[in-house]
Amino acid sequence: MANKRSKGEGSARETIERPSTGSVTKHRDGVAPAGVRRAARDFAGAPNRVRIIGGLWKRTPLPVTDIAGLRPTPDRVRETLFNWIEHFVPALEAVRALDFFAGTGALGFEIASRGAQRVTLIENNRRLTDQLTQTKRKLAAEQVDIVAADALTTAARWPDASFEVIFIDPPFDAALLTPALAAAARLITPDGLIYVESGAPIGESLLARHSLQIARVGRAGRVHFHLLRPRSA
């Protein structure tokens, strides 16, 4: 995977905070993300639908099934995320991507739309896997595989370094972040990227335990989002 980052970029930090007035104030000590000014408001409640924002299926809406705890990544945050990803990986054609907790499939179908070679979506909720299957058929997304199973059990069967990009966006109250991050650290290629959404910043001790480092980090309301890389990258 190509790495086009210049020296000193690894610590870039991007934060969007909601003051008590309800407005969104942006702070930065790296390059500010484009189009995320209202992302905190997007995270306040799940939208009825999200859309693919780039690539072959640009502007295609994705339905959001009414399921407790389902919190799809908003369009503006995904736009920022893929600006980050494409900074490190200008060409996605050779990328194998994994979405541990696929939900609506917004992250997985987005990277497939932008040309990823293979995308695996894991989801264990039957209603969501049925919706993912319908979306795959609608888009004729042959490069997308949908796995109806437990994410951690499934990941344990795969060999090391199986993916160049991994998405982790688990339900915040399910205590899945730590085991998912451990699995991702094993499955990611040495120059790969791991995207994580969480209800709190990821601590340095957890990153060090799995030899990971922060490449980019941001915040939208109560949600923290991180782009991680192996420390060897």
Q: How many CB atoms lie within 10 A of CB 125?
A: 17
Nearest to 149 by CA among 187, 98, 109, 185: 98
Tell me what percent of the residues of the chain surpass a pLDDT of 70: 78
Instruction: Set out the domains of the chain in order of their start, with CATH numbers.
Output: 10-230 (3.40.50.150)
CA distance 122 to 149: 6
Q: How many CB atoms lie within 10 A of CB 195?
A: 26
Handedness of CA 94, 99, 108, 5 (dihedral sign): negative
Retrieve residue 180's tokens. 């998912």
pLDDT tens-place string over residues 96-125: 999 999 999 999 999 999 999 999 999 999
Retrieve residue 149's tokens. 């199973």
Please compute the mean of the pLDDT values over residues 57-72 and round it to a whole number: 84
- Bridge partners for 110 per DSSP: none
List Cα–Cα distances, 46 to 8, 73, 157, in angstroms.
Answer: 36, 9, 32
Which DSSP letter does residue 209 get?
A: H
pLDDT grade, residue 69 (50/70/90)? low
CA distance 229 to 233: 7
Of all helices (H) and strands (E), which one includes residue 97? strand 96-99
pLDDT tens-place string over residues 28-49: 333 334 444 444 444 444 456 7
Question: By three-state DSSP, how is residue 218 classified?
Answer: strand
* Residue 161 CB partners (closer than 8 Å, separation 6+): 187, 188, 189, 190, 192
